[in-house]
Amino acid sequence: MPTSQPRRKPDAMTAAPQPSPEPQPVVTPLRTAAIFLVLTIDPGGEAAARDLLADVAALQRSVGFRIPDAELACVAAIGSAAWDRLFSGPRPAELHPFRALRGERHHAVATPGDLLFHLRASQMDLCFEFATQVMNRLAGAATVQDEVHGFRYFDERDLLGFVDGTESPGGRAGAAAALVGAEDPDFAGGSYVIVQKYLHNMDAWNALTVEEQERAVGRTKLADIELPDDVKPASSHVALNTITDPDGTERQIVRANMPFGSAGSGEFGTYYIGYAASVSVTERMLENMFIGDPPGTYDRILDFSTAATGTLFFAPSAGFLDDPPGAPDPPGSSGSGASSPSPGSLGIGGLKRSTAQ
């Protein structure tokens, strides 16, 4: 019989590594319905916004419980101008206002946005109920800047008729592309989010032949096959959105775009949303699209699709939202940065919901 050895107590060198922060549902498959809700926080609305953000996970469970199979998911994100109004302490390393771009012919505009709620489910009623609860909680504290209701269009095509997001990674590859890691440990598990609302000129687009449309996109329309390099124009959407590092590594982001529109008013569009571990990757894609690589070879699709909005947010980890840092000190105060619970809040981490009747 072998002699038993005394157990060693774990020390700093042998202790198990800490688990990674739980992300919000960023890397989630597309559903049949989505709502994109962009808000600005009114002066004095910071406490209501903080309380709501701390309750996002609980609200998702409450609304999603009605139809579990519909798989409701919500990602909440915060803009650069709002971050220091809501939280004390450090900021995400790459969080800054959206950088407008002006190319030779096309312009990527920057528009206001303090909060983003990206809602997904297989039924629109769940998304709508969640958005309604958000607006009830933020009544008098925030202003809607944009609200877009997206829908799945046939086999995940956009209204231009092409499959959208074919190369968007999922699973571990999606997490690697979208989630911050050890490079910014205070915000590991978070993700940088850029949103843009594109409006399509369908009459002009449909006046093109299918072959011309395919050269603009860089893929075949029916089969969704990428065109060969010797056929695919440098100004095609696919060519300009392929980002490769000097060592040959292709950089990716997670896209969750959705079509939207109104047949009666003649509005047709794609709501673009890209999640990235480093916002520089998404920004390089946008620079290629609007400026060109080389300059002048802008994205041909922009001749038919106009960016009407543009905002950058950071979606922190689920744990950050459940137990956020204290609110910043009021201007002119000499406090420590920690805050007392706001009026009507239970003030206990993830249970910071309002008790006001």
For 256-286, how does the pLDDT look when each residue is reduced to its tens digit (9 = 90+)? 999 999 999 999 999 999 999 999 999 999 9
Q: Above 50 in pLDDT, residue 250?
A: yes
Provide mean pLDDT across the span 224-233: 96
SS3 344: coil
More confident residue, 192 or 13: 192
- Is residue 164 among the annotated active site residues? yes
Digit-coded pLDDT (tens) for 116-127: 999 999 999 999
Which residue out of 158, 164, 299, 322 is catalytically annotated?
164
285-302: burial string, b at 16+ Cβ within 10 Å, e else: bbbbbbbbbeeebbbbbb
Amino acid at 97: P
> Residue written as tokens 């038919």?
304
Residue 176: φ, ψ to 5°:
-65, -35
Quick check: 109 and 307 in contact, CB under 8 A? yes
- Alpha helices for 114-183 (secondary structure H): 124-137, 171-178
Q: Kindly state the tokens that stand for 179.
A: 């989630």
Residues 6+ apart with CB under 8 A from 244: 250, 251
Write down the pLDDT at residue 335.
53
Is 201:307 a contact under the CB 8 Å cutoff? no
The CB density around residue 143, as the number of other CB atoms within 10 Å, is 13
